[in-house]
């Protein structure tokens, strides 16, 4: 590449020699040839030489006019990246398997088994759950089953268990009838909340006490107090009762099929009263002094007379 420097002219320096005159200049010597332009004026030229370019390191590169050094990635960082990639692959595989299981027709519901029914029949429960048939088991929740059984007032709660590949086991917890309420020529089976569970023409077939007048005759408060007392009694004691009545919420009375009267009082401490009454009924009877009244209104001091 040609130099950008222009030639410069430098006149030669004159030096004095011995034997010169004033002024310190030296004249031409006698007999010497005349000076030529080359001898009198010297033209010199120079150019700049670029600095030698050093070779770049092997790992050096230029980016946008700036020099960037690329250092090797630390081993720990590479290992973390590999672990994260492996974990991500496993999670993606598991998610794929879950999606396949949730929507797979292999797990479609085909069989519904029902247990725990006494008032209802298994066929009634299965008919109510028919809309679930063909749906994959992982998509069926307890709420789905409870919603479909909501029209069956006898069902208080349910427990659901999926049994792959195609069976749904439903355990029904029914409301417990505690009394009969006479309505015309029929008797309604009601639970402790007064919910009507079934009807019967023969009260003896239910082995439950009859609540005199029912909720419509004695009022809601008295009915609930009486039903709460009956709900606290064990099944064997409940089967020995003929009817129940209440003059007030603090004066609930029960009648046994043998004619004895049970003075219960109010609904407080009903669990303790039920245990005391069960113990009194199991006590040996004295033919000479038959018991006509069992008073458990004060359960810690029961009275028989």
Average pLDDT over residues 107-128: 94
- Is the per-residue pLDDT at 298 higher than 50? yes
Q: What are the sequence ranges of the domains in the chain? A: 105-174, 179-304
- Confidence band for 92, pLDDT divided at 50, 70 and 90: confident
pLDDT at 183: 80
Mean pLDDT of the chain: 79
What's the pLDDT score for residue 153?
A: 93
pLDDT at 5 over 60: no
Helices 220-232 & 270-282 angle (0-180, nearest 10): 50
Cβ contact 227:212 at 8 Å? no
More confident residue, 86 or 175: 175
Q: Are 205 and 213 in contact (CB under 8 A)?
A: no
Specify the pTM: 0.59
Q: 204-228 pLDDT, tens per residue? A: 888 889 886 555 556 778 888 888 8
Confidence band for 67, pLDDT divided at 50, 70 and 90 = low
**Backbone angles phi and psi of 13, in degrees to 5:** -80, 140
- Quote the pLDDT of residue 21: 44
User: What percentage of the chain's residues is helix, strand, coil (to nearest 5)?
Assistant: 30, 25, 45
Residues 6+ apart with CB under 8 A from 237: 274, 277, 278, 281
Average pLDDT over residues 290-295: 94
Q: Looking at beta carbons, which pairs linking 250-255 to residues 24 or more positions away fall under 8 Å?
A: 252/225, 252/226, 254/209, 254/229, 255/209
Residues of the chain with pLDDT > 70, as a percent, come to: 70
The pLDDT confidence band at residue 138, using thresholds 50, 70 and 90, is confident
Least confident range from 50-54, 183-187, 230-234, 267-271: namely 50-54
Task: Give percent of the chain with pLDDT exceeding 90.
Answer: 36
Please tell me the predicted confidence (pLDDT) of residue 163. 92
The string of pLDDT tens digits covering residues 9-28 is: 455 555 445 444 444 444 44
Q: Which CATH class is domain 105-174?
A: alpha beta
Q: What is the Cα–Cα distance from 36 to 159, expressed in whole angstroms?
A: 127
Contact 179, 208 (CB under 8 A): yes
CATH architecture of 179-304: 3-Layer(aba) Sandwich (3.40)
């Amino acid at each position: 590449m040609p130099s950008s420097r222009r030639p410069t002219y430098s006149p030669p320096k004159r030096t004095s020699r011995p034997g010169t005159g004033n002024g310190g200049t030296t004249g031409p010597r006698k007999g010497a040839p005349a000076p030529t332009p080359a001898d009198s004026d010297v033209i010199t030229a120079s150019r700049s030489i670029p600095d030698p370019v050093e070779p770049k390191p092997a790992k050096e590169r230029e980016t946008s006019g700036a020099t960037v050094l690329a250092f090797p990635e630390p081993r720990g960082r590479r290992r973390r990246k590999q672990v994260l990639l492996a974990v991500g692959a496993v999670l993606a595989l598991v998610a794929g398997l879950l999606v396949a299981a949730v929507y797979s027709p292999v797990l479609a519901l085909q069989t519904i088994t029902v247990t725990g029914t006494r008032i209802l029949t298994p066929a009634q429960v299965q008919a109510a759950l028919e809309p679930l048939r063909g749906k994959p088991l992982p998509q069926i929740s307890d709420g789905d089953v409870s919603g479909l059984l909501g029209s069956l007032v006898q069902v208080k709660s349910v427990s659901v268990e999926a049994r792959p590949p195609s069976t749904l086991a439903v355990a029904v917890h029914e409301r417990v009838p505690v009394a009969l309420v006479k309505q015309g020529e029929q008797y309604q089976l009601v639970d402790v909340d007064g919910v009507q569970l079934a009807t019967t023409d023969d009260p003896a077939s239910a082995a439950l006490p009859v609540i005199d007048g029912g909720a419509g005759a004695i009022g809601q408060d008295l009915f609930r107090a009486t039903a709460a007392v009956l709900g606290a009694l064990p099944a064997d004691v409940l089967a020995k009762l003929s009817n129940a009545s209440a003059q007030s919420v603090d004066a609930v009375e029960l009648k046994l099929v043998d004619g004895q009267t049970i003075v219960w009082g109010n609904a407080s401490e009903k669990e303790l009263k039920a245990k005391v009454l069960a113990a009194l009924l199991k006590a040996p009877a004295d033919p000479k002094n038959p018991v006509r009244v069992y008073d458990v209104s004060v359960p810690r001091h029961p009275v028989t007379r």
